Structure 1
Amino acid sequence: MLIDQQMTDNRQNSSKIFRSEVKFIAGAAKISQLPKIFLPQVAFVGKSNVGKSSLINKVCNRKSLARISNTPGRTRQINFFNLANKLILTDLPGYGFAKVSAKEQQEWEKLIIYYLQNSHSLELVNILIDARRGIKENDLTIINMLSEFNKKIQIVFTKSDKIKINEKFLEENKKSLATLGYSCNVIITSSKSGLGAKELQISMAKSIGKK
């Protein structure tokens, strides 16, 4: 009964948050530009062109909150969004994009690592992975780093509408993560159909009130 009530509360909280106004509050291209945040934060990170912007727009019920582009590497700073004065959503630059200079890539990595390690109100990191590609080496690097930082992670498979997804796919990926010593929630999503958007909203809403 208590678990059922908690699930109902989480669903209601998520509905309120993601129906409310969403405000862009800051963009940080350098460590010195990172804002002081006291509300709970949920971050979105993934390889370039993983569908991060499309998924953020779907989750927030907006069409152009996060810029959508077919050009990998479009997000070149950490963008912070305030959701109903309850939660901060952070959109991080994509990793693994080879068409920027080595210096720029290093600056991105430095910024991302500093943010992930030092944001004390960061309650959840959604690691986005293209379902067609599966978990790659650079994804594992991020997962391992976040584990060392003691950050809670959630694997979010994107673009599931482009391949056949079933329970076997989900279990195989959970097993692969468990074999590597990682135990975390896995969500399958599609920005096109909306699959997994509500589940993602609920998982984010759970971050509120933890501090």
Structure 2
Amino acid sequence: MSVDKVTKLFRQEVKFIAGVAKINQFPNTSVPEIAFVGKSNVGKSSLINSICNNSSIAKVSNTPGRTRQINFFSLIDRLILVDLPGYGFAEVPIYIKQQWEVLITYYLRMSVNLKLVNLLIDARRGVKQNDMEIAKLLLSCNKDFQIVFTKSDKVTDKENLTATAQNFLATLGYSCNVIYTSSRSKEGAKELQFSLAKCIKL
């Protein structure tokens, strides 16, 4: 897989194709999907914008919990990027949290096109209990995932972060990529693009 092909892929036009708030609203496609999940305000939308070199793909908000649906974005009909609602935001009503949980769990269990999940973790905060629960859910759904630390330009002790993540994964009997990213400095953007491009044939 060449650098030119990967770069070209993520420079293509990205289109919003669906916002799913109910189980009966999921789009019917056969295109490989890659999902992004993480705690509210972890920087999911900013990261998606960053790797696609587009500032308007996902609606970025400074208010945690703003994204209240599963958003699907098509990358020239070759790849679908899926932005899942953030978890762990205390001010969201309980009934909405329950709706998110049902919706996300249904998607993770039922999607046959989902090839990879990016578990986003704020590098400043480290691995928390909520992150561990999501990792366990992904494994119970038989979904491959990798850990993507966001806002990595604001931390220095990456070795310790990596060790913590790998130790936790070891308790689950799982190993995966650990990628450090920063939407501001673009750190890790190319590495992440390559990991996503592996899910399709270029």
TM-score (norm 1): 0.91
- Aligned pair partner of 1:117 in 90, 109, 118: 109
| 1:144 aligned residue | 136
Q: After superposition, what is the alpha-carbon deviation per residue over 1:40-88, rounded to whole angstroms, capped at 9, x for unaligned?
A: 0000000001011111110110112111111000111111011121100
Letter in structure 2 aligned against 1:50: V
CA distance in 1, matches of 2:5, 2:29: 21
- Aligned pair partner of 1:192 in 173, 184, 188: 184
| 1:133 aligned residue | 125
Contact 1:10 1:202 (8 Å CA) reproduced: no
Contact 1:10 1:205 (8 Å CA) reproduced: no
| 1:4 aligned residue | none
Contact 1:159 1:189 (8 Å CA) reproduced: yes
Q: How many residues align?
A: 202
Q: Secondary structure at the match of 2:10?
A: helix
| 1:182 aligned residue | 174
| 2:50 aligned residue | 58
Q: Which moved more, 1:127-136 or 1:156-165?
A: 156-165
Q: Secondary structure at the match of 1:120?
A: coil
Q: Which moved more, 1:165-174 or 1:140-149?
A: 165-174
Q: Which moved more, 1:93-102 or 1:178-187?
A: 178-187
| 2:148 aligned residue | 156
TM-score (norm 2): 0.95
Letter in structure 1 aligned against 2:178: V
Contact 1:44 1:128 (8 Å CA) reproduced: yes
Contact 1:80 1:88 (8 Å CA) reproduced: yes
Letter in structure 1 aligned against 2:134: I
Q: After superposition, what is the alpha-carbon deviation per residue over 1:93-134, rounded to whole angstroms, capped at 9, x for unaligned?
A: 001111111111100110000001100010000000001111
RMSD: 1.5
Letter in structure 2 aligned against 1:197: A
Contact 1:128 1:156 (8 Å CA) reproduced: yes
Q: After superposition, what is the alpha-carbon deviation per residue over 1:27-47, rounded to whole angstroms, capped at 9, x for unaligned?
A: 101111111121000000000
Letter in structure 2 aligned against 1:105: K
Q: After superposition, what is the alpha-carbon deviation per residue over 1:147-174, rounded to whole angstroms, capped at 9, x for unaligned?
A: 1111110100001111214444324432
| Structure 1: stretches of 5+ with no match in the other structure | 1-8
| 1:3 aligned residue | none
Contact 2:127 2:164 (8 Å CA) reproduced: no
